[in-house]
């Protein structure tokens, strides 16, 4: 049950997990599968890059978008200064895209199996990192209510 909660969440989190997987499917998995069909064996010259090769950057954009949303959700309740929260929300997705874009370009240019598998491994690592972020937010300790906002137990009196 813990694995199912890790992968799909619970409560309203199920909707975000499904949206997360939809973005990953359309922006990462399908694009990598399209480029996997064009891979060349060792020693074979790669095809020239075409305008369609720009689609490979959708992998980095998709991973950057889900990381941006997950960082914004996670940092919402993080116990850090506001400037640190904003910095993390901006810097972490930027680092994801800076790590993925060069590999995406290399895949479009070289069309080789090693570069393809490097893209797959990096994408998988980023997805696992995002899942851990979502899991940490879901399982965060909840702060006690502010003074004056405590829930008072109802007492039943016999009349």
List pLDDT tens digits, range 104-156: 999 999 999 999 999 999 999 999 999 988 888 877 776 666 676 666 667 77
Helix (H, G, I), strand (E, B) or coil at 40: strand
Distance in angstroms between the alpha carbons of the first and the last residue of the chain:
47
Please state, in angstroms and as integers, the Cα–Cα distance from residue 139 to each residue in 9, 10, 75, 144, 149, following that order. 10, 11, 14, 15, 23
Q: Are 113 and 92 in contact (CB under 8 A)?
A: no
For the cut 70, the answer to whether the pLDDT of residue 102 exceeds it is: yes
pTM of the shown model:
0.80
Provide, for the chain, the percentages of residues in helix, strand and coil under a 3-state DSSP scheme, each rounded to the nearest 5.
70, 0, 30
Tokens 């619970």 correspond to: 10
Q: Supply the pLDDT for residue 138.
A: 79
Q: Supply the pLDDT for residue 119.
A: 95
Distance in angstroms (rounded) separating the CA atoms of residues 2 and 16: 18
Q: φ, ψ for residue 22 (rounded to 5)? A: -65, -45
Q: What angle do CA 83, 85, 90 make, to 5 degrees?
A: 95
Distance in angstroms (rounded) separating the CA atoms of residues 157 and 159: 6
Distance in angstroms (rounded) separating the CA atoms of residues 116 and 42: 13
List pLDDT tens digits, range 12-52: 788 888 899 999 999 999 999 998 888 888 888 888 888 88
Q: Are 123 and 63 in contact (CB under 8 A)?
A: yes
Helix (H, G, I), strand (E, B) or coil at 112: strand
């Amino acid at each position: 049950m813990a694995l199912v909660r890790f992968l799909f969440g619970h409560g309203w989190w199920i909707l975000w997990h499904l949206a997360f997987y939809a973005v990953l499917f359309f922006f990462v998995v399908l694009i990598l599968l399209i480029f996997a069909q064009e891979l060349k064996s060792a020693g074979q010259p790669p095809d020239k890059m075409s305008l369609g090769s720009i689609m490979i950057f959708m992998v980095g954009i998709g991973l950057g978008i889900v990381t941006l949303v997950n960082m914004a959700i996670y940092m919402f309740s993080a116990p850090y200064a506001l400037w640190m929260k904003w910095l993390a929300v901006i810097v972490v997705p930027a680092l994801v895209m800076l790590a993925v874009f060069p590999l995406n370009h290399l895949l479009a240019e070289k069309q080789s199996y090693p570069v393809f598998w490097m893209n797959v491994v990096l994408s998988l690592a980023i997805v696992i990192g995002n899942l851990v972020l979502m899991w940490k937010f879901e399982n965060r300790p909840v702060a006690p209510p502010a003074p004056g906002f405590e829930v008072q137990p109802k007492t039943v009196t016999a009349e």
